[in-house]
Structure 1
């Protein structure tokens, strides 16, 4: 499919998920995580699919690189750390808050102009510190504040209204929707509101993987390449210290990766190989090893991925099992399971 062709909108239906991960305790399958996985080859074709990669679903924060591309196309001049933050689900560390403040300063605005929901920092350790210090939830600490600050900056540069920048009919959100449809290659199936208050567009898992591939294979200097470069070069601004998605981008050369709430993961390599994952029950403990297994399916050296095989299951404080990708996805697990 070329960049101008479009598939039909994905169907809104109950996804036909399949088992993608097993909880193994003492050699017995204790539980099963269902979900869907798609792996694209460098030529854009689906090299592997498990579950339902074609039903409509909400990518949640995995959509942020596409939103950042739309803003860059609309004139957002940010680069480097600040552009990475514009595509971030950040942890609420001081550098993230400082970056969001800087974007607002460039726009001549303040935290009061943000319309995302006030929240405590996403990172548990940072959040605990805030609670101990008696700091209240704030719009700046909420994990999407970089994106919202960049949205306001983009609106100001284009002379668009600020108070209603989250309205799906607003010129900014119309530009985002157009970019989502172009990069995914399909019409948006449904529009709702994400947790932060921004419009959220339903596409297919296949479409999300296709969009990531188009971002990483775009020509140098394009909005897509600027976003990809910023996120890869400043992975901890796009997420946070110790976050698995940042570590993935550090250990896999050229990888662009973004996670999303409810068990979503997308990742793409510079040659167009891409993966997208949705865990049906939203479990992060399954998202990480399933995404790693999908990347191995895409041809990433398994030796680079052993650190993403999943957290052990404990019994009496000792490892007695693990969360392991289902055999249909990964017949040869990245690590042994007790």
Structure 2
């Protein structure tokens, strides 16, 4: 009898090589701490210098969909010219509502393209209500329904505008992706520490929280009167926040509640925010969960003197027991923790 083959588990990771995150949020239930979320944060000034930080903000991470506004800047620089609501969709992780799916299709049709030209992965709509309605109507996973379809439609359109091959537009060697990579380096002030592939198939760059915050500060502070690609993307996102995310999404709510604020989330617990004066914040929740991302972001904004009162419903989440509140998910005093640059090497 032939012995079955065994798949060996990978060796455990060395704790010394893990990011030095700190506790940033905790959930309590009737006076007992039930869960703790660790993470790292940074707030930067208009000149890119650090105002506040906690955890390990200089360890490279993958910004995931928070890169989309930077990718959109590259496409506008390459000649992409869309109505504002469609440009916002090009920088979106949308919920998959009809407006989002139809918008992505419109980008394609404006440039003589169709859904078959998309190279992103297929998926159901990301939003809960949108997904449920889609499934009730008999919908299946498609590329248009996938949350990155606006970006991919815009990428294919940018290729048509420049006479580049649409086929293979996700190849890192493709002129479009080379342009995106150069734009990311310029806006973040960093050379990517590593490269990978995002869930939708797009090239992905490992950067620091500080680099991403600097980029969002530049976008948010870009003057509309200057006619720059940064100003075009930021203006479209601000004026059409529901196209950037969706009606039930916290990123949409945040941009509506704070005039001039620019926000984009990313999978694995990532949040970026830029303010009109060029300051910015960047958040990474270490466990990749989503629920601590916005409360931590609101706490950072309050530390930058953004009025927290309108953001109260985003700052903490009630914990229910039998339908009644019995606890709370809220932030820790994470700004009282030093960042890892202050820790001794042998700790």
Q: Name the TM-score, length of structure 2 as normaliser.
A: 0.90
Matched, 1:153 2:167: no
Question: Equivalents in 2 of 1:17, 1:194: separation in Å?
Answer: 23
How many residue pairs get aligned? The number is 319
For residue 202 of structure 2, the aligned residue among 198, 202, 209 is 198
Question: Equivalents in 2 of 1:330, 1:133: separation in Å?
Answer: 50
Report what 2:254 is aligned to.
248
Report what 2:108 is aligned to.
104
Report what 2:95 is aligned to.
91
Question: Equivalents in 2 of 1:172, 1:192: separation in Å?
Answer: 16
Q: Name the TM-score, length of structure 1 as normaliser.
A: 0.92
Report what 1:129 is aligned to.
133
Question: Equivalents in 1 of 2:49, 2:331: separation in Å?
Answer: 23
Report the CA distance between 1:218 and its aligned residue: 2.0
Report what 2:44 is aligned to.
40
Question: Equivalents in 2 of 1:31, 1:127: separation in Å?
Answer: 28
Report what 1:214 is aligned to.
218
Report what 1:52 is aligned to.
56
Report what 2:340 is aligned to.
none
Deviates more, 1:131-140 or 1:89-98: 131-140
Q: CA contact under 8 A between 1:81 and 1:237: conserved in structure 2?
A: yes
Report what 2:275 is aligned to.
269
Q: CA contact under 8 A between 2:63 and 2:206: conserved in structure 1?
A: yes
Report the CA distance between 1:311 and its aligned residue: 2.0
Question: Equivalents in 2 of 1:191, 1:309: separation in Å?
Answer: 33
> Which secondary structure does the structure 2 equivalent of 1:54 belong to?
coil
Report what 1:70 is aligned to.
74
The runs of 5 or more residues in structure 1 that have no matched partner are: 1-12, 332-338
Deviates more, 1:305-314 or 1:146-155: 305-314
Report what 1:5 is aligned to.
none
> Which secondary structure does the structure 1 equivalent of 2:283 belong to?
strand
Matched, 1:278 2:293: no
Report what 1:188 is aligned to.
192
* Runs of 4 or more above 6 Å deviation: none
Report the CA distance between 1:330 and its aligned residue: 8.1
> Which secondary structure does the structure 1 equivalent of 2:278 belong to?
coil
| 1:130-155 deviation digits (Å, cap 9, x = unpaired) | 22222111100000000000000001
Superposition RMSD in Å: 1.3
Report what 2:10 is aligned to.
none
Deviates more, 1:295-304 or 1:195-204: 295-304
For residue 308 of structure 1, the aligned residue among 298, 311, 314 is 314
Q: CA contact under 8 A between 1:275 and 1:298: conserved in structure 2?
A: no
Q: CA contact under 8 A between 1:122 and 1:143: conserved in structure 2?
A: yes
Report the CA distance between 1:273 and its aligned residue: 1.3
Question: Equivalents in 1 of 2:296, 2:222: separation in Å?
Answer: 27
Report the CA distance between 1:297 and its aligned residue: 1.3
The runs of 5 or more residues in structure 2 that have no matched partner are: 1-16, 338-347
Q: CA contact under 8 A between 1:39 and 1:297: conserved in structure 2?
A: no
